[in-house]
Chain A
Amino acid sequence: MTSEVSTTAETAAAVAGPVIEVRDAGIRFRRNRRGRRSFKDLFAGRRRRLRPDEFWALRNVSFAVQPGEAIGVVGRNGQGKSTLLKLVAEVVLADEGTVSVRAGVAPLIEITGGFVDDLSVRDNVYLTAGLHGMSRREVDERFAEIIEFAEIGAFLDTPYKHLSSGMKVRLAFSVISRLEEPILLVDEVLAVGDRGFREKCYARIQELLDGGRTLFFVSHSERDLRRFCTRGLYLDRGRLVLDAPIDEVLARYAADTGH
């Protein structure tokens, strides 16, 4: 797995081929969190067989994403959409198969996760941007932009915990979307925040897409999916049922769910 590789736009373009390549990926989870667990299970490695209290959240999933593609992931709740996104973000690891991500990722998943309650907004921006790979100098250059986008200029020295939940999400989105990574992963984070800000986020995503970024988008909103995505992945019971243009995927999804 090439988890540490991040490349510039030029080299990414020079190296022809997919930026994301998922081959026969599978991941299993335990059904019951309180189930018994033994040392033997823990050290048994990848190849052990499935235990009765486990299930495959995803299995035999294969696809490749070319640079600049905008992919929408469709499926009912609990069919593996978010898990797939986490696999691509490499915050969980596959039990079977491989997931190769050959460019840097800006993950809009649990975006407020990196922020520390006791530190000021300013410190938090440097911290989170740094954890995602930005150097201090880069943050210096972008700092004004980040704050302006989050509309949070008056609270620079306020401890993060005193911000309203709307401000927290705005700040987090602003930082992550400013990472300038070639791949953008968007989970349904944008369901929060007021309508005005959501529209601003969408405009920002559109801008990033126009700039040649690859988008991986999970949503229940047909309108949003049609707006950004050209290609769709339809997941059902942990399998990739259909990989086709977004209109076709949405039609199939609508037919299956009876809308």
Chain B
Amino acid sequence: MTSAALQAPLRERATGSRRYRQILWLLTSRDLRVRYSTSALGYVWSILDPLVMAGIYWFVFTQVFQRDVGEEPYIVFLLSALLPWMWFNGAVSDSTRAFLREAKLVRSTKIPRTIWVNRLVLSKGIEFLFSIPVIAAFAIFGGATLTGWIVLLPLAIVLQAVLTAGVGLIVAPLVVFFRDLERAVKLTLRFLFYASPIIYSARDLPEGLHFWAAFNPLSGLFSLYRASFFESELDWFLVGISAVMSVLLLAVGLAVFARTERAVLKEI
């Protein structure tokens, strides 16, 4: 080691949003790398879960019951909401442990704390993107055709990122103080799975419930995703309410996070 190297002028370090993105990406790629380097099946696991789920629902609703919900082909209808659901579900349930699992790292670096939530949204989002070929394959073999509304796909992804980050920012700091919340969140997610139009369509709901279902931001979100294959699923009323709800949740999330950050850092 030479002391000349030590005397060298200090370099400009990335600051602000560039540094934020750099670290976000670093942690996200670490997540993905850990997941894929410690399991033999790697990528397969991230699509196997939705595939098995979809297989079960497909069997129950098309082979066992005489189904009168959803659209044809049912498997494509199912997956077009189930895959985004996996993203939402995975990121929100992981965010209950966002601080606890990385406590040592949070305690030793001063990187902007929202990264601990946003990296979960990003890494689950990337897994979602990786799973899109699965639905494409089923669409091709099942004979589903794309509609022009596929142009709305990026909007759906942005909307979901906003919604998921908002919920995560609320859940992550509060779990640090109220550990019971971890189980409450898991339970709520399970409830939400059936309360959201995943195995059925929002149009299958009884007339009286339709209005109230709109306040579940997932209703509008899934309507947006499904419009790529099923034009009749697009419901601008649902989408509008969903967008407003998502932005609101993000605002609340940021406020909760900013308010509790100081206490979180002491607690972990």
- B-side contacts of A92, CB under 8 Å: 262, 265-266
* Shortest distance between the CB of A144 and any CB in chain B (Å): 10
Nearest chain B residue, comparing its CB with the CB of A142: B5
Tell whether A8 pairs with B108 under 8 Å between CB atoms, given A119-B34, A127-B30, A211-B3: no
Instruction: Tell me if B10 and A111 are in contact (CB < 8 A).
Output: no
- Taking a contact as CB atoms closer than 8 A, the residue among A45, A110, A208 that contacts B259 in the complex is A45
| Residue of B whose beta carbon sits closest to that of A108 | B108
* A45 partner residues in chain B, CB cutoff 8 A: 259
Say whether A91 contacts B6, CB under 8 Å: no
Binary interface profile of B, 1-35, with partner A (CB < 8 Å = 1, else 0)?
10101111111111110010011001100100110
Starting from the known contacts A6-B15, A135-B14, A211-B6, 15 additional A-B residue pairs (CB-CB under 8 Å) come to A4-B16, A27-B266, A37-B178, A91-B106, A91-B110, A107-B109, A113-B108, A113-B109, A123-B33, A130-B23, A131-B105, A145-B1, A149-B1, A207-B3, A211-B3
Q: How large is the interface on A (under 10, 10 to 19, 20 to 34, 35 or more residues)?
A: 35 or more
Q: Determine how close the nearest CB of chain A comes to the CB of B7; give it in whole angstroms.
A: 6
Chain B residues with CB below 8 A from A119, complex form = 30, 33-34, 37
Q: How near does chain A come to B181, taking the closest CB pair, in angstroms?
A: 11
Q: Which of A93, A104, A123, A127 contacts B13 (CB 8 A)?
A: A104
Main secondary structure of the interface of B (DSSP, over half): helix
A29-B266 CB under 8 A given contacts A9-B9, A42-B260, A111-B108: yes
CB contact between A91 and one of B8, B37, B109 (< 8 Å): that residue: B109
A222 contacts B by Cβ under 8 Å? no
Query: Residues 3-34 of chain A: 1 if any B CB is under 8 Å from the residue's CB, otherwise 0?
Result: 11110111000000000000000010110000
Q: Give the residue name and chain of the B residue nearest to A134 (CB).
A: B13
Interface residues of B (CB under 8 A from A): 1, 3, 5-16, 19, 22-23, 26-27, 30, 33-34, 37-38, 104-112, 174, 177-178, 259-263, 265-266
User: A133 at the A/B interface (Cβ < 8 Å)?
Assistant: yes
Which residues of chain B are within 8 angstroms of A133 by Cβ–Cβ distance? 13-14, 19
A243 near B: Cβ within 8 Å? no
Q: How far is the CB of A74 from chain B (nearest CB, A)?
A: 23
Q: How far is the CA of A3 from the CA of B7 in the complex (A)?
A: 25
Which of chain B's residues have a CB closer than 8 A to the CB of A130? 22-23, 26
- What's the minimum C-beta distance from A111 to chain B, rounded to whole angstroms? 7
| CB-defined A-B contacts under 8 Å, sample of 11 | A8-B9, A10-B9, A30-B266, A37-B177, A91-B107, A110-B104, A114-B105, A114-B109, A118-B38, A123-B33, A131-B23
Task: Please tell me if A89 contacts chain B, counting CB pairs below 8 Å.
Answer: yes
| Chain A proximity of B104: nearest CB distance (Å) | 4
A105 at the interface (CB under 8 A from B): yes
Residues of A within 8 A of B (CB): 3-6, 8-10, 27, 29-30, 37, 42-43, 45-46, 89-93, 95, 104-105, 107, 109-114, 116, 118-119, 123, 127, 130-135, 138, 145, 148-149, 180-182, 207-208, 210-211
**Residue B263 contacts which of A3, A42, A132 (CB distance < 8 angstroms)?**
A42
Instruction: Tell me the minimal C-beta distance from B174 to chain A in angstroms.
Output: 8
Nearest opposing residue in chain A for B29, CB measure: A127
CA distance in complex: A110, B104 (Å): 7
Chain A residue with Cβ nearest B173:
A42
List chain B residues, Cβ under 8 A from A42.
Answer: 174, 177, 259-260, 263
Q: How far is the CB of A100 from chain B (nearest CB, A)?
A: 13
Known contacts A145-B1, A149-B1, A207-B3; A116/B30 CB under 8 A: yes
User: A169: shortest Cβ distance to chain B, in Å?
Assistant: 13
Q: How far is the CA of A5 from the CA of B1 in the complex (A)?
A: 29
CA distance A251 to B89 in the complex (A): 60
For residue B129, give the distance in angstroms from its CB to the closest CB of chain A: 23
Chain A nearest CB, measured from B168 CB (Å): 18
Across the interface, which residues of A come within 8 angstroms of B38, CB to CB? 118
Q: CA–CA, A149 to B2, complex, Å?
A: 12
Residues of A with C-beta under 8 A to B265: 91-93
Nearest residue in B to A124 (C-beta to C-beta)? B30
State which of B109, B174, B263 has its C-beta within 8 Å of the C-beta of A131.
B109
Q: How far, in angstroms, from A30 to B109 measured CA to CA in the complex?
A: 23
Nearest 5 pairs of A and B residues by beta carbon: A113-B108, A113-B104, A90-B110, A110-B108, A9-B10
B26: A residues at CB distance < 8 A: 127, 130-131
B259 touches A43 (CB 8 A): yes
Closest beta carbon of chain B to A109's beta carbon, Å: 6
Question: How far apart are the CA atoms of A182 and B13 in the complex, in Å?
Answer: 12
Chain B hits for A138, CB < 8 A: 11
Per a CB cutoff under 8 Å, which of A8, A90, A127, A132 touches B12? A8
Do A207 and B177 touch (CB < 8 A)? no
- Nearest CB in chain A to that of B19: its residue: A133
User: Which of B19, B110, B112, B177 has the most C-beta atoms of chain A within 10 angstroms of its own C-beta?
Assistant: B110
